């Protein structure tokens, strides 16, 4: 039987849209029993993403990819009885996750102050966009707007040109990773002291914490870092170069003189490599645009895999820029079981990404597909909370469990 690092811990997941559900998924992948709180009165928008062509809440690829290994209950938090049921569940749980705006959980009496009275050992993780205090604390955002607000988008674009932005919810994933680290630290503290605690991970601050270079450059030099493209101040060539095929590219990075000489040899030592403009790293960086034109002229004669094989053999970092189909069929990723088949009761067999860590003693795994709405109501309310079938039927009829 597979062992898990967080076996025996129970998580109540109020996460909605991205950051909270991603954190819940990480804890579920480590073996925690994660119970996602949902309601038909307001569906998690991940159940109706643009990729859900049929607009069926049980057939959303985004929801299925993020919520595997979880359970689902349907409770209307707007009804007092629903809040009472959730507090009873918190009594029997270890961790609570939420990523609403700061006013939401206090409004329902489900904030940390209230829940810690119900269960003093509870660990609650809040992932607000901007933070619970400060002039912007009430600002409501999504991943894309957060990246603009924290300044991350201002760095993404071709060198010296207009901002393009990241075009993906990077802040959600990053704050969830930091949140998982904080949860493990809080569990360690609780196991020593018996005390729970409140964890706040402001998503904007999580993103700023990994933007060290632009922050330090401004504080030390007064410079505002802008769009960089693939430019590196210490490596040249450094970038993505066109190859044979429709929109196929290879990433190449050269750090040392030995690597540069190896690259030149693979290219056949063309005359331009002897130009003084490319004599050392300093001059190559200064003349990187012209250098990139020469490199691109060579890479266009081969496929991205051919370039990788030629350069990797001589110790030069080079890898294809793979699209989704290429990643799915890549022999290396297949050999490492990066994508695993999972049987879902509505959609049948679907492939999901495997957990990205490999632990020798508690490896974990993907053992349950994303839940259907309210699929685990009976387990939670009958088995965990000891309610009778008659009680559950009444709550279902009155749409408390809905």
Which residues are tagged catalytic? 172
Q: How many CB atoms lie within 10 A of CB 323?
A: 11
Q: How many CB atoms lie within 10 A of CB 282?
A: 10
Write out the H or E segment, with its range, that includes residue 192: helix 170-193
Joined tokens for residue 323: 């699209």
Residue 179 and residue 125 in contact, taking contact as beta carbons nearer than 8 Å: yes
Q: Which of 136, 71, 75 has the alpha carbon at shortest distance from 108?
A: 75
Write out the H or E segment, with its range, that includes residue 23: helix 19-29
* DSSP-derived pairing of the beta strands 339-344 and 348-353: antiparallel
Cα distances (Å, whole numbers) of residue 232 to 98, 316, 396: 38, 16, 59
3-state secondary structure of 55: coil
Query: Distance (Å, rounded) from C-alpha 247 to C-alpha 264?
Result: 25
Query: Distance (Å, rounded) from C-alpha 398 to C-alpha 402?
Result: 9
Q: How far is C-alpha 44 from the chain's CA centre?
A: 17
Joined tokens for residue 328: 């799915």
3-state secondary structure of 137: coil
């Amino acid at each position: 039987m597979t062992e898990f690092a967080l076996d025996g811990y129970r998580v109540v997941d109020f996460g909605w849209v991205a950051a909270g559900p991603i954190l819940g998924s990480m804890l579920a992948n480590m073996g925690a029993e994660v119970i996602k709180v949902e309601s038909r009165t307001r569906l998690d928008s991940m159940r109706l993403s643009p990729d859900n062509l049929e607009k069926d809440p049980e057939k959303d690829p985004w929801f299925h990819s993020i919520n595997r290994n979880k359970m689902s209950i349907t409770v209307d938090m707007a009804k007092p009885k629903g809040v009472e049921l959730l507090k009873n569940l918190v009594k029997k749980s270890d961790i609570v996750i939420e990523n609403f705006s700061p006013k939401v959980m206090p409004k329902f009496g489900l904030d940390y102050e209230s829940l810690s009275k119900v269960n003093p050992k509870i660990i609650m993780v809040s992932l607000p966009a901007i933070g619970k205090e400060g002039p912007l604390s009430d600002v409501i955002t999504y991943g894309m707007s957060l990246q603009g607000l924290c300044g991350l988008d201002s760095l993404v674009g071709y060198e010296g040109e207009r901002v393009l932005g990241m075009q993906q919810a990077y802040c959600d994933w990053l704050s969830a990773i930091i949140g998982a680290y904080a949860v493990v630290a809080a569990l360690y503290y609780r196991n020593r002291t018996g005390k729970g605690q409140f964890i706040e991970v402001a998503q904007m601050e999580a993103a700023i914490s990994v933007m060290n270079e632009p922050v330090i450059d401004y504080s030390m030099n007064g410079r505002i870092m802008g769009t960089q493209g693939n430019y590196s101040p210490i490596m040249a060539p450094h970038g993505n170069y066109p190859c044979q095929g429709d929109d196929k590219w290879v990433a190449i990075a050269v750090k040392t003189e030995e690597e540069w000489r190896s690259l030149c040899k693979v290219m056949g030592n063309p005359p331009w490599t002897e130009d003084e403009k490319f004599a050392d790293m300093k001059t190559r960086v200064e003349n990187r645009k012209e250098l990139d034109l020469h490199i691109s002229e060579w890479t266009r004669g081969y496929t991205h895999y051919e370039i990788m094989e030629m350069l990797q053999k001589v110790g030069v970092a080079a890898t294809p820029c793979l699209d989704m189909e290429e990643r799915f069929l890549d022999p290396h990723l297949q050999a490492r079981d990066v994508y695993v088949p999972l049987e879902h009761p509505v959609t049948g067999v679907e492939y999901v990404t495997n957990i990205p860590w490999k632990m020798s003693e508690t490896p974990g795994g993907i053992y349950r597909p994303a839940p259907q709405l309210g699929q685990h109501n009976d387990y939670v309310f009958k088995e965990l909370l000891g309610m009778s079938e008659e009680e559950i039927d009444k709550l279902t009829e009155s749409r408390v469990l809905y």
